Structure 1
Amino acid sequence: MGEMTARLLVIGGGPGGYAAAIRAGQLGVDTVLVERDRLGGTCLNIGCIPSKALIHVAEAFGRAAEQAEASPFGLRLGRPSLDLARAMEWKEGIVGRLQGGVAALLKRSGVRTVHGQAELLDGKTCRVETDTGPQTIRAEHLLLATGSEPADLPGLPFGGRVLSSTGALALTEVPEHLAVVGAGYIGLELGMAYARLGARVVVVEAAERILPAWDAELTRPVLRRMERLGMEVLTGAEARGLAEEGAALRVATAEGRERRIAADAILLAVGRRPRTRGFGLERLDLTMNGPFLRVDERCATSMRNVWAVGDVTGEPMLAHRAIAQGEVVAGIVAGERRAFDPVAIPAICFTSPEVVAVGLSPTEARQAGHEVRLGQFPFSANGKALAEDAEEGFVRIVARADNHLVLGIQAVGQGVSELAAGFALALEMGARLEDVAATVHAHPTRGEAVQEAARMALGHALHL
């Protein structure tokens, strides 16, 4: 049995874990990272990156199919075809390049990487079963970055035709009939992608509307697009299991009737749960917050020198949150005074159109006791959006009525994910409506809608 020692031991090579390890290495902290599978975690390998690659393929195919029929500017193309297996190979090539980049960054930062299943022995020691035998690692600090995994339903365990997002991202043929259980961002992103590729998609959601965690006004353009794609949406409905005969899903509708939905494949996207089992976590005396590890503003757990970041610590389960937390922990271990205290964390739904929310919605701002000023500018009055035949959607800004401090910015429309950084920066820097309105925005860009929304909130929009 081999033995290693380090100042920092990181369990999990996803965004939170590898970011912490890289930054710790840069700061001169002797660091070991343990990963049981592939570096990059869920996001890089089977989540954020491959799903966006598939969405890009679907958008390119969908545009070509639409232009084969007609386009507003006279373009005519032949009917497109798609080799999905080849598209999946292209997607895996992107994943491989990024994974190799993570490995190179870890090596350049002096981080030692151990591949294998970790088993915690206590708060400072773990044993790893590697290909070359067991390895014991002892460290002064332990960082848990074990991420999350897809949740299933009692009547719909994963397997066969019942797919998690991982399985949906590995299909080599477009299913003729696809049932999507769960109308959150994962279900809708992938469901809309396969609808554009030609699948007949039915979405089953237990709540009363799609994207129930998002502002209803932001989600209406998404629902309209789903209808134009021929997708059927069943809200207030419950998936009960597979039909005994035939490729179908049994669903209890909002009216109380049972319906069978044709389904060559079923994407189960009802959420994710923290990965807290299978690596000896029960040997540590850690305070929990429901199913999650409880951490404070420093990402410290209830045990001294045991830290946790990312999905295992709770919502929002987002890679950029995990990366930011990991960087904080690395700084603390290196002796810096750090805390994880962002004003807002951007949330993006890569549907068609995209949806972005940063900070408080109007309802949330009022619930927090604020009197608010609102400004909302439609892309139908934005030159860049019109020039690209993508006028659906808007930008909305929420500010305090008394001092005009910006509390939140939201948008729905084509390409609005790229505006998220500017939204977050405005909130983080404490911008007021006057700051946003007076900032010169380049023309013609979609970003001008942000400036116009601020002007509208101040009562003097120029272009509407």
Structure 2
Amino acid sequence: MQSLETQLLVLGGGPGGYVTAIRAGQLGIPTVLVEAQTLGGTCLNVGCIPSKALIHVAERFHQLSEPNEFGISGGQPRLDLGQAIAWKDRTVDRLTSGVGALLKKHRVQVIHGHGQIVDGKTVQVGDTRIHCQHLVLATGSRGMSLPGLAIGGPIVDSTQALSPETLPRHLAVIGGGYIGLELGTAYRKLGAQVTIVEAQPRLLPAYDSELTAPVVTRLRNLGIKVLTENRVEGYDAAGQRLRLRSGSGDTASLEVDRVLVAVGRTPHTGGYGLERLDLDSAGKAVKVDGGCRTSMTGVWAIGDLTGEPMLAHRAMAQGEMVAELIAGKRRSFAPAAIPAVCYTDPEIVVAGLTPDQAGADAKVASFPFAANGRAMTLGDTSGFVRVVARPGDHLILGWQAVGPGVSELAAAFTQSLEMGARLEDIAGTIHAHPTLGEAVQEAALRALGQALHI
């Protein structure tokens, strides 16, 4: 048995884990990072990055296939699925190799293997036992399963859906959240027939119906069938039949040759020996304080392991903070907002409070992309930008948007909330023309009763 001593041990090399290790290295903290699979975790390898790459391929293919009013015509495009997946994989490889280079640059020792917790100061990887002063748990999350739909064969999870060898004729997507809609839309644009099955009364139930309406309209226009208030009771692989039961109790079957289970994610707590630690928990999530400290001294937890919102950028911010706390700096995790983005068609971005959360007295105003010159030149005027502000002093409380490319507005939304901006600050800022960002200024102007272009 080999023995290794370090000041900091990070268990998990996803966005939260590797950022913790890099920042700790920058601060001169001797650090060991343990990762069982490829650096980058779910996000870089089988989540955020590859899914957006596949979405981009699907959109490009669909644009070439779809009749348009731009005066562009040509023959029917042909999809080389293998080449598309290879491009997606090369994109992922560039990023993961970059993470490895950064860790090496900052003198982080990376140990590839499955870490097993012995106690709050010790982790064993193979025949190596690592002793540490600080242990950061960054084990992430895993996809949830459904009874009667064991992953295998024609039943796939989001990981397998990102690397298909062939396109299905008819794909059933179980789950109408952002993962299901993103991948379902991509498959439809690549040429598959798609049906989305959701147990709740509407899709994307975490967002208000005004935000999701343009997405639902686009799904309908793409020919995607949506079955809400339906639960899956099983799948007959031989007959390629998905068995459903509606909210009223009626049963039905759907002929599909592939089923994607996308019903959400849960903290990854199994297989690491977490049960050997005396940790407080909230459900399956590990409870932490404002500094990501657990109930055990010297043991920290970050990212999806600590529950919602399960977002890579939240994990990164937490990891950076933890490294600085271990280095003796004064820090706490108290963001004004954590933006959330759905890469649906059109995209959705939310930062801060929604109108319902802000209360009936809040000032709420929207500006439609139908009145935005840049949206018109893109040939897509669906959606809007919406601002929520406090009535007395006009402090901005939240932003929401749905429309083409609005994910790129997330930083501006969040920055305005962090800086305590008021409606007058945004309204008085000169925005470049023509840009989608002008809708941000126009929403603020409209909230002040000064809208110029509507």
Return the TM-score normalized by structure 1: 0.97
Shift of 1:244: 6.3
Check conservation: 2:268, 2:305, Cα contact below 8 A.
yes
| Structure 2 counterpart of 1:258, from 251, 255, 259 | 251
* Amino acid across the alignment from 1:238: R
Residue 158 of structure 1 corresponds to: 151
Check conservation: 2:242, 2:254, Cα contact below 8 A.
yes
Residue 82 of structure 1 corresponds to: 79
Residue 142 of structure 2 corresponds to: 149
Percent of residue pairs identical:
57
Check conservation: 2:203, 2:228, Cα contact below 8 A.
yes
Check conservation: 2:36, 2:115, Cα contact below 8 A.
yes
| Residues 244-275 of structure 1 deviation map (CA, whole Å, 9 limit, x = unaligned) | 64112111123422111122111100111111
- How many Å separate the matches in 2 of 1:83 and 1:252? 37
Residue 69 of structure 2 corresponds to: 72
- How many Å separate the matches in 2 of 1:167 and 1:374? 42
The answer to whether residue 11 in structure 2 is matched with residue 11 in structure 1 is: yes
* Amino acid across the alignment from 1:53: A
Shift of 1:172: 2.0
- How many Å separate the matches in 2 of 1:375 and 1:387? 24
Shift of 1:339: 0.6
- How many Å separate the matches in 1 of 2:185 and 2:230? 19
5 Å matches for 1:340-355?
Answer: 340-355=333-348
Residue 136 of structure 1 corresponds to: 129
5 Å matches for 1:173-212?
Answer: 173-212=166-205
| Structure 2 counterpart of 1:124, from 111, 121, 125 | 121
Check conservation: 2:14, 2:42, Cα contact below 8 A.
yes
Residue 371 of structure 1 corresponds to: 361
* Amino acid across the alignment from 2:415: L
Residue 105 of structure 1 corresponds to: 102
SS in 2 for 1:8: strand
Residue 455 of structure 1 corresponds to: 445
Residue 246 of structure 1 corresponds to: 239
SS in 2 for 1:266: strand
| Structure 2 counterpart of 1:291, from 273, 284, 298 | 284
Aligned length: 454
| Residues 176-224 of structure 1 deviation map (CA, whole Å, 9 limit, x = unaligned) | 1000000000000000000111111110000000000112111000000
Check conservation: 2:195, 2:227, Cα contact below 8 A.
yes
- How many Å separate the matches in 1 of 2:443 and 2:411? 17
Shift of 1:242: 0.6
SS in 1 for 2:290: coil
The answer to whether residue 31 in structure 2 is matched with residue 37 in structure 1 is: no
| Structure 2 counterpart of 1:94, from 88, 91, 100 | 91
Check conservation: 2:154, 2:237, Cα contact below 8 A.
no
Residue 26 of structure 1 corresponds to: 26
- How many Å separate the matches in 2 of 1:54 and 1:219? 22
- How many Å separate the matches in 2 of 1:172 and 1:404? 53
Residue 384 of structure 1 corresponds to: 374
- How many Å separate the matches in 1 of 2:260 and 2:182? 11
Residue 427 of structure 1 corresponds to: 417
| Residues 107-131 of structure 1 deviation map (CA, whole Å, 9 limit, x = unaligned) | 00110000001011000001002xx
Q: After TM superposition, where is structure 1 displaced by more than 6 Å over at least 4 residues in a row?
A: none
Residue 431 of structure 2 corresponds to: 441
* Amino acid across the alignment from 2:52: K
Residue 225 of structure 2 corresponds to: 232
| Residues 129-188 of structure 1 deviation map (CA, whole Å, 9 limit, x = unaligned) | 2xxxx1110000000000000000111121111111001001021111000000000000
- How many Å separate the matches in 2 of 1:413 and 1:262? 33
Shift of 1:73: 2.3
| Residues 273-294 of structure 1 deviation map (CA, whole Å, 9 limit, x = unaligned) | 1111101111110111111000
In structure 1, runs of 5+ residues without a counterpart are: none
Check conservation: 1:371, 1:402, Cα contact below 8 A.
no
- How many Å separate the matches in 1 of 2:237 and 2:179? 27
Distance 1:349 1:5, change over 3 A: same
- How many Å separate the matches in 2 of 1:353 and 1:172? 27
Check conservation: 2:347, 2:403, Cα contact below 8 A.
yes
In structure 2, runs of 5+ residues without a counterpart are: none
Residue 59 of structure 1 corresponds to: 59
Output the aligned Cα RMSD.
0.9
SS in 2 for 1:180: strand
- How many Å separate the matches in 1 of 2:150 and 2:40? 26
Shift of 1:51: 0.1
Residue 383 of structure 2 corresponds to: 393
Check conservation: 1:181, 1:269, Cα contact below 8 A.
yes
- How many Å separate the matches in 2 of 1:297 and 1:83? 49
Residue 165 of structure 2 corresponds to: 172
* Amino acid across the alignment from 1:310: G
Shift of 1:243: 2.4
SS in 2 for 1:234: strand
- How many Å separate the matches in 1 of 2:403 and 2:74? 25
- How many Å separate the matches in 1 of 2:331 and 2:237? 56
| Residues 56-76 of structure 1 deviation map (CA, whole Å, 9 limit, x = unaligned) | 00000110011xx3x222111
* Amino acid across the alignment from 1:263: V
Check conservation: 1:10, 1:145, Cα contact below 8 A.
yes
Return the TM-score normalized by structure 2: 0.99
SS in 2 for 1:20: helix
